């Protein structure tokens, strides 16, 4: 059932985020230790990600922005005016205005799990686009979301930039595409559209550098997850004994980030004891890369028919417009 207005962050009596603790403890109990990538984004992690997007080696943000800038006439023609733009994740200060200026939207609906980011980005957009109705919704978009009554009559365009879908394994990604379709489906059977960014397979050295930059910002981003566990879950992880690793996994067409123990270590988290042998890792992120074909296939599996696909000049990144 669609969700609206539920408490999204469930804290225990000590103010600890229950979902964070459950994900970390379950993940650390696995043979291959793993923590879901969504937990990177506390305040420190979000600031570090912003810094990543400005790095020389990290091309995805610039490549996708170039696509949005260069094809506004196509978006205007194919999408048309008056649609409610439903953005999955709170908007970026650069990409969202590029899309909104291109298509004359009827409303803008950012969906995000973090109310703070939502309020900040909504206020900025409402100032920039005077007269555009902005309806932020605090929600977990991995499930079907009930949209505000005011935008129900409008046709919808989902917007999911940044190759965030690449963080999910294919079956989770397909589930998400299907819940997006359910969220956007009109009551009168109009077909929603989706504009989605996906990063493309390319030279391994370019990919690995994008996730292991010379200034070490991505390393700090990765290590911040262990520091966050120590801060919020009463952890004793010796972060100085962990090293950042970014590895291309060719079988799964993805960059994996890991934290590797440089020597045998023991630590506790929320009172539970863990050990890692030298060389053992905590798997912290998958960032799947696509071909134009595999991007289309995944959309089709998720119930979306691709209409047109664009890449940047150098063919590094793709943006696809699809219709349900």
Which chain residues interact with ligand AVJ by CB under 6 A? 52, 60, 162-164, 166-167, 211, 218, 221, 285, 287
Q: How far apart are CA 13 and CA 230, in angstroms?
A: 18
103 or 165: whose CB is closer to ligand AVJ?
165
Least distance in Å: CB of 13 to ligand AVJ? 33
How many Cβ atoms sit within 10 Å of the Cβ of residue 170? 16
66 or 285: whose CB is closer to ligand AVJ?
285
211 or 248: whose CB is closer to ligand AVJ?
211
Least distance in Å: CB of 236 to ligand AVJ? 25
156 or 258: whose CB is closer to ligand AVJ?
258
**324: nearest Cα among 305, 309, 308:** 305
Least distance in Å: CB of 26 to ligand AVJ? 21
107 or 180: whose CB is closer to ligand AVJ?
180
Render 49-114 in DSSP notation, one character per residue. HHHHHTSSS--HHHHHHHHHHHTHHHHHHHH-SSPEEEEESPPPTTHHHHHHHHH--SEEEEEES-
Least distance in Å: CB of 293 to ligand AVJ? 21
Give the residue nearest to ligand AVJ (CB): 287
**79: nearest Cα among 100, 109, 108:** 100
Least distance in Å: CB of 121 to ligand AVJ? 15
Q: How far apart are CA 103 and CA 115, in angstroms?
A: 26
């Amino acid at each position: 059932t669609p969700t609206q207005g539920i408490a999204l962050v469930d804290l225990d009596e000590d103010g600890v985020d229950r979902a964070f603790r459950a994900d970390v403890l379950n993940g650390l109990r696995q043979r291959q230790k793993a923590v879901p990538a969504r937990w990177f984004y506390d305040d420190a992690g979000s600031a570090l990600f912003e810094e990543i997007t400005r790095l020389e080696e990290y091309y995805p943000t610039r490549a996708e922005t170039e696509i949005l800038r260069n094809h506004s006439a196509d978006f205007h023609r194919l999408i048309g005016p008056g649609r409610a733009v439903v953005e999955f994740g709170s908007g970026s200060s650069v990409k969202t205005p590029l899309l909104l200026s291109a298509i004359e939207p009827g409303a803008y609906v950012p969906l995000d799990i973090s109310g703070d980011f939502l309020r900040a980005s909504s206020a900025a957009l409402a100032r920039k686009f005077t007269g555009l109705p902005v309806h932020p919704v605090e929600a977990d978009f991995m499930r079907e979301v009930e949209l505000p009554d005011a935008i129900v009559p409008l046709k919808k365009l989902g917007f999911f930039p940044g190759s965030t879908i690449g963080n999910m394994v294919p079956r989770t990604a397909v589930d998400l595409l299907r819940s997006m379709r359910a969220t956007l489906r009109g009551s009168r059977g109009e077909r929603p559209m989706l504009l989605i960014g996906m990063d493309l397979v390319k030279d391994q050295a370019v990919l690995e550098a994008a996730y292991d930059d010379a200034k070490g910002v991505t390393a700090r981003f990765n290590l911040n997850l262990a520091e966050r566990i120590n801060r919020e879950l009463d952890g004793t992880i010796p972060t100085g004994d962990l090293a950042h690793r970014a590895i291309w996994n060719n079988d799964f067409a993805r960059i994996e980030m890991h934290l590797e123990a440089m020597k045998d270590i023991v630590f506790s988290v929320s009172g539970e004891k863990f050990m890692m042998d030298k060389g053992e890792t905590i798997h912290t992120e998958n960032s799947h890369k696509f071909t134009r074909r595999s991007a289309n296939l995944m959309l089709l599996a998720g119930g979306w028919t691709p209409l047109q696909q664009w890449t940047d000049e150098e063919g590094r990144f793709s943006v696809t417009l699809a219709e349900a």
